Amino acid sequence: MTKTELVAAVAGKTGLTKKDAEKAVKATFEAVTEALVNGEKVQVVGFGSFEAKHRDARTALNPFTGEKIEVKETRVPKFTAGKALKEAVK
């Protein structure tokens, strides 16, 4: 499902116009992103949780050349599905 399809689905389920549904979807994504940037965890009960995890610096191998590469430490987003979402997908 693309963002456009998501907006159409939200509009269909809520009765909002596509323009209003797009604003709501965009605002939701922005709010989650801002929270992760600020180091906060976002929990949506029944759906799942988003958090930013720290990944340490490490030495990796280039799979094509076998050359060693230094990978810098970074923060990466992580999503963990909630119980209700896991059950629904089964």
pLDDT of 76: 96
Helix (H), strand (E) at residue 20: helix 18-37
Q: Are residues 85 and 68 in the same domain?
A: yes
Quote the CA–CA distance of 11 and 18 in Å, as a whole number: 5
Nearest alpha-carbon partner for 23 in 35, 11, 41, 36:
11
User: Partners of 44 in the beta sheet?
Assistant: 48
Quote the CA–CA distance of 21 and 11 in Å, as a whole number: 5
Q: Are residues 23 and 5 in the same domain?
A: yes
pTM reported for the whole predicted model: 0.81
pLDDT along the chain (90 residues), means of 10: 96 96 97 96 96 96 94 96 95
Q: Are residues 26 and 54 in the same domain?
A: no
pLDDT of 30: 97
Into how many domains does the chain fold? 2
- The domain that holds 79 is classified in CATH as 4.10.520.10
